[in-house]
Structure 1
Amino acid sequence: MPWLEPLLVIGGSVLLAYAVALASLWLYARKNPGAVALGDALKLLPDLLRFLGRLVSDRELPLRPRLALLFLLAYLASPIDLVPDFIPVIGYADDVLVVALVLRLVVRASGRQSLERNWTGSSAGLLLVEKLSGLAPAAPAD
C-alpha cells in the first residue's frame, strides 16, 4: 500500500489547515464582537443577494468573476459549510469570509464601476460592501 502514507499526509495537512482556519475565525470573533451587527447583516442580506444576482447577469464582467459569483451563490445556498452554521459566532464567519474573498476578486477584475452600476441598496450597505471588497469608500462627488 504505497499510496496510504501520502494519503495520510494529505489528509492530516487538510485537517491541520482546517483547524488553523477555525482557530483564526474564533480569535477574530472574540476580538471583534461587534464587527457587523446581526441586525445590520440581516438588513444587508436582500440587497446583497440582489447585487450578486445582478453581477452574475452583467455581461460587461469577465467570465472568471462571473463563475466565482456563481460558485458563491451555490456555496451560500448549500447546506454544507466549512463551519456548520449552528456553531455560535464562527458558524456564519466562514460565509462572510467567502463573500469577502469573492467580492475582492470581482472588484479587482471589474473595478468600482461595476459595483456602483449593480448596487441597488442603501448607501450604508454600499459602504459595507466596499469594505468587504477591500475598497476605500468612494470620495463624495462635489
Structure 2
Amino acid sequence: MTTRLLLEIAAGSLGLWVLSCAAMVLLARRLPAGLLKDAAEFLPACVTTAGRLRAHDDVPRRAKVALLIAIVWVISPIDLLPEFLPVIGPLDDVLAAVLLLRYAARAIPRDVLVDAWPGEPRLLERLLGSEPRDTVVR
C-alpha cells in the first residue's frame, strides 16, 4: 500500500466519524424530554462541568486532579469496554465520570458546582446522590 492510499483511508475514516458524531448530536437534540434525552445529555454535561470546574479558583487541587482524570478517561480512545458494543460500550466512561465528579463535588462549594453544571438541575441532584444538600435552583 502506498502512503497516499493510507492517508486517503485515514481521512475518509475521520470524515465518516465526524459526520456520525454530528448526526448523533443533531438527533439527540430532537429527542423528546425524558429519560432517553437525559441519558444522551448526561456525559457531555459531566465533561463540560469538569472542564469549567478545573478553571475555577475555589476548587481544591485534589478535586481538580479528579476532574482532570475524568476528562482524560472520557476522551481517551482506550476503554475497558469497547465503544462499539451496543448499550454497554459507553458505560465505563459514564461510571468513571460519575464517580470522579461525585468525589470532587465533596470538596467543591455548592454554588460553584451548580454554576458549572450546564444541564438540567435535577440531573445534578441525581449525580450527587441522596446526601443531604440544599435544593438546586436555577
Q: Would you say same fold, with TM above 0.5?
A: yes
Shift of 1:138: 4.1
Q: Label 1:86 to 1:76 Cα distance change in 2 as closer, same or farther (>3 A).
A: same
Instruction: With the length of structure 2 as denominator, give the TM-score of the two structures.
Output: 0.62
CA distance in 2, matches of 1:60, 1:50: 17
Q: Check if 1:127 corresponds to 2:122.
A: yes
Structure 1: tracts of 5 or more residues without a match: 1-35
TM-score (norm 1): 0.60
CA–CA separation in structure 2 for the residues paired with 1:130 and 1:115: 11
Contact map agreement 2:50 2:67 (CA 8 A) in 1: yes
Separation in structure 1 between the aligned mates of residue 102 and residue 87 of structure 2, nearest angstrom: 23
Letter in 1 for 2:59: L
Give a deviation string over 1:33-70, Cα, whole Å, max 9, x none. Answer: xxx84432333454433322111101111001101111
Q: Which stretch shows the higher mean deviation, 38-47 or 103-112?
A: 38-47
Tell whether 2:135 aligns with 1:139.
yes
Count of matched residue pairs: 103
State the partner residue of 2:75: 77
Structure 1 residues 140, 106: closer, same or farther in 2, change over 3 A? closer
Distance 2:130 2:108 in 1: 13
How far is the alpha carbon of 1:72 from its aligned partner? 0.9
Aligned to 2:19: none
Does 1:86 find its partner at 2:81?
no
Give the letter aligned to residue 129 of structure 1: L
Contact 2:74-2:93 at 8 Å conserved across structures: yes
- Which one has a larger percent helix, Structure 1 or Structure 2? 1
Structure 2, unaligned runs of 5 or more? 1-33
Q: Given the alignment, which residue of 97, 100, 104 partners 2:98?
A: 100
AA paired with 1:84? P
Matched, 1:58 2:53: no
CA contact (8 A) 1:85 1:92 kept: yes
Cα distance in 1 for residues equivalent to 2:136 and 2:89? 36
Aligned CA-pair RMSD:
2.5
Contact 1:83–1:90 (CA under 8 A) maintained in structure 2 = yes
